[in-house]
């Protein structure tokens, strides 16, 4: 199996410990006055989402994880399982509600997402950074509430609710940032 030397350490590196895949979220080079250089790293477990700290001496190596990122199209949701399809191989992958996490709020049928595979098994998915969703229900705006940043909850076609400005009406298309869950703007068709 491949491995990385300390000189190759960088943020975003996918490595493996005890059979679990980890992503390097932070790596700091420390050169004490005496002795060997050290690499202080923070690693996030890609299966359990926990974070661990590890320190490596200069010249150490770490095992590379068999992690692959693919583009997968969201097909449908059924009984707590989300089904995706690789557009190149047409292979279907299933993710549990825990693996999808808050990503369900942005999923529309046919949407292409980034999917992470570990040993050819899906472990996580990431929706596009911005999605356009149709407002299914919201309270009507109150006349005169335009002077301040008044927001109201708007339920969208996926079943999720987002805070939007008071001028947003039912049937509007809104653009949402999936990284923060915040309203960006009204969108055109």
Same domain, 165 and 146: yes
Same domain, 11 and 59: yes
Q: What is the per-residue pLDDT for 148? A: 67
The number of domains in the chain is 3
Same domain, 59 and 102: no
Q: What is the pTM of this model?
A: 0.74
Cβ atoms of 127 and 107 closer than 8 Å: yes
Beta-carbon contacts of 51 under 8 Å, excluding residues fewer than 6 positions away, are 25, 42, 43, 44, 45
Q: Give 28: exposed, middle or buried? Use CB within 10 Å, 0-12, 13-18, 19+.
A: exposed
Same domain, 73 and 120: yes
Which among 47, 182, 72 is positioned nearest to 127, based on CA atoms? Answer: 72
Residues linked to residue 134 through DSSP beta bridges, in sequence order:
173
State how far the Cα of 106 lies from the Cα of 38, in Å rounded to an integer.
Answer: 41
Last residue of a domain, one of 63, 97, 113: 63
Question: The CATH number of the domain where 168 resides is what?
Answer: 2.40.50.140
Beta-carbon contacts of 29 under 8 Å, excluding residues fewer than 6 positions away, are 37, 38, 39
Q: What is the per-residue pLDDT for 151? A: 84
Domain that holds residue 174: 130-187
Last residue of a domain, one of 63, 89, 108: 63
Same domain, 7 and 59: yes
Last residue of a domain, one of 47, 63, 79: 63
Question: The CATH number of the domain where 33 resides is what?
Answer: 2.30.30.30
pLDDT of the chain along its 189 residues, tens only?
688 888 888 888 889 988 889 989 999 988 888 888 899 999 988 888 889 999 998 888 999 988 888 999 999 998 889 999 998 889 999 998 888 888 899 999 999 999 999 888 898 888 999 999 999 998 886 666 555 678 889 999 988 999 988 888 888 999 999 989 898 988 876
Q: What is the per-residue pLDDT for 133? A: 92
Cβ atoms of 21 and 65 closer than 8 Å: yes
Same domain, 46 and 72: no
């Amino acid at each position: 199996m491949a491995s990385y030397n300390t000189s190759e350490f960088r943020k975003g590196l996918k490595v493996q410990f005890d059979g679990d895949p980890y992503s390097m979220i932070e790596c700091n080079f420390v050169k004490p006055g005496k002795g060997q250089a050290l690499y202080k790293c923070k690693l996030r477990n890609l299966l359990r989402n926990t974070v661990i700290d590890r320190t490596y001496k200069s010249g150490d190596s770490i095992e590379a994880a068999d992690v692959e990122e693919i583009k997968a199209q969201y097909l449908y949701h059924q009984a707590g399982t989300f089904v995706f399809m690789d557009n190149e191989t047409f292979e279907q992958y299933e993710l549990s509600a825990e693996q999808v996490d808050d990503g369900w709020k942005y999923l529309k049928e046919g949407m292409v997402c980034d999917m992470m595979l570990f040993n050819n098994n899906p472990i996580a998915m990431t929706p596009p950074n911005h999605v356009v969703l149709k407002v299914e229900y919201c309270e009507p705006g109150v006349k005169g509430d335009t002077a301040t940043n008044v927001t109201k909850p708007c339920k969208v076609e996926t079943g999720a609710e987002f805070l939007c400005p008071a001028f947003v009406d039912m049937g509007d298309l809104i653009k949402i940032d999936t990284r923060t869950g915040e309203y960006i703007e009204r969108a055109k068709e």
